[in-house]
A and B are shown apart, each in its own frame.
Chain A
Amino acid sequence: MDFRFDLIVHYLPVFLRGTLFTIGVSIVSILIGSVLGLGIGFGKMAPRAIYRWPFHLYINFFRGTPLYVQILIVHFGLIPAFYGTTNVLMTSFIALSLNSAAYSAEIFRAGIQSIDPGQREAALSLGMSKWQAMRFIILPQAIKRMVPAFGNEFIVLVKDSSLLALVAAPEIMFWSNTMKGQYLRIWEPYLTAALIYFVLTYSLSKLLNYIERKV
């Protein structure tokens, strides 16, 4: 099969812009998502069931429905309700952050709960406060266990951001579709997009391996 590298070269500048958009949106979303996720994760560990259920509902909603639909709801429902019009950048941040928060919450909760309760009891019996026990004994151990799961979540997020092409966010798949439309060729745009995602996620996983060894 013929493969037109000249078309890819022609589109390379916009693909690079799309890559920057993807990277930017992914970084912002993972940051907002993990802050929200931390809160939601603690919420889900609340001592009384009545406090737990909203967090429980949140996690189940965002994990139990396709991101595809979530993006549509945020873009055509949530954002216009606040702004009066759609805003693709806000859609990108909010849809990905809310989705990522649900997964991060479970990563935090699993990480913290994986630490043997004896550790906490020992810390308390040494005279530490609950907060100190969490801060100095539990979290340092838990974070070490969370790093691989977090890395996984970040990689999934980068790939899932491709769904934003649905609402015309100018990311990698958007430009890939643009290129497809001009030439009616499939492999040049899609394989280029795949390669860019691969390079992104592969470098990310290398970086995370490094962090894992350092922590």
Chain B
Amino acid sequence: MGIGKKWAMSALAACFMLTMAGCGSNNAAGGNAAAGESIKIATDASYAPMEYMDTDKIKGFDIDFIKAVMEEAGVKYTITNTGWDTMLTSVQQGTEYQAGVSSVSITDERKETYDYSIPYFESTNMIMVKEGSDIKSALDLKDKVVAVQGATTADTLMSDIMGVDNTNLKRFDSNAVALMELNAGGADAVVADIAIVNEYIKNNPNEKLTGILDKENFGSEYYGVLYPKGSEWKAKLDPAIKTVIENGKYAEIYKEWFGEEPDTAALLSAE
């Protein structure tokens, strides 16, 4: 009896520890963290190649970028895959996680609830259609069926063009499902971040897809690190972000992920 109980307890403890380890928390010590300051960062690692899980490790451009920033600032940090919703609430509260890094676009509406770092990434939305489609620009999408990932800037842009209450604008939980909808014939186009669209077209050459860039209607947008309102981390980390962009470290990471040079001048003057 007693032994059985002990076994059950240790099995339970083992399960618990496995679960904790499986949370995908990458611990990384900063370079010269003399002050011993540390920050816990949340992310939604389901946005390749920006941040995604490679089995139990978080990888991606944002992850390498934040590592460089923390090394520059000499701050210890941990980054945890919490999923999107948890990231939003916990960063807003600021008690468990003090920052969120997850390709979060800076918009005025969102600034009412959060503080943002200086912009660290320039992006734009792109239209993806099947080859032979008559869609040429964003305005052609007005009367079409368009799939987007909900809660993204693609959603916001298309809501402005098509109307927020237009049910031909299909909002899915993830870009992956939005892309499936296009493939299954349930949508005429998908709108998503350029990095996502290019990655998908590259990985699925048999599906005969093309990407349409419309700089006129889909302007540049910038990603920022998400902080709670009034966070002191903004003042502490903004200089480090600036340095990383200026000293070439940023360009190095950028080239590694996207194979091209970033326009750092535009980024630094974007705020």
Contact = CB atoms under 8 A, between A and B. Distances in A.
Interface of A: 1, 13-14, 17, 75-76, 80, 84-88, 165-168, 170, 174, 177-178, 180-187
A13 B152 contact: no
Contacts of A182: 109, 155-156, 159, 164
A156 B112 CA distance: 37
Given A165-B173, A170-B167, A183-B109, 4 more contacts: A13-B165, A80-B186, A180-B151, A186-B85
B150 A185 contact: no
Contact of A174 (B110, B171, B185): B171
Nearest to B180: A76
Nearest to B178: A168
B224 to A, nearest CB: 12
Contacts of B27: none
B150 A177 contact: yes
A182 B93 CA distance: 19
Given A178-B171, A184-B114, A168 B156 contact: no
B154 to A, nearest CB: 9
- Secondary structure at chain B's binding surface: helix, strand, loop or mixed? mixed
A85 B186 contact: yes
B185 A80 contact: yes
Nearest to B186: A86
Nearest to B86: A186
A53 B101 CA distance: 52
A20 B177 CA distance: 25
B177 to A, nearest CB: 7
B89 A186 contact: yes
Contacts of A185: 88, 92, 113
Contact of B165 (A14, A76, A85, A180): A14
Interface residues of B, number: 31
A210 B240 CA distance: 66
- Secondary structure at chain A's binding surface: helix, strand, loop or mixed? helix
Nearest to B90: A186
Nearest to A13: B165
A178 B170 CA distance: 10
Given A76-B180, A86-B185, A184-B113, A177 B151 contact: yes
Given A14-B164, A86-B185, A87-B186, A177 B171 contact: yes
A14 B166 CA distance: 10
B157 to A, nearest CB: 11
A6 to B, nearest CB: 11
A8 B113 CA distance: 15
Interface string B48-63: 0000000000000000
A106 to B, nearest CB: 30
B34 interface: no
B88 A184 contact: yes
Given A165-B173, A167-B177, A170-B167, A184 B110 contact: yes
B185 A85 contact: yes
A186 B83 CA distance: 13
A35 to B, nearest CB: 28
B184 interface: yes
Contact of B184 (A85, A174, A180, A183): A85
A183 B186 contact: no
B155 A181 contact: yes
Contacts of B159: 178, 182
A75 B85 CA distance: 25
22 contacts: A1-B93, A14-B164, A17-B165, A85-B184, A85-B185, A86-B181, A166-B173, A168-B171, A170-B167, A177-B171, A178-B151, A178-B164, A178-B171, A181-B152, A181-B156, A181-B171, A182-B109, A182-B155, A182-B159, A183-B113, A184-B109, A185-B92
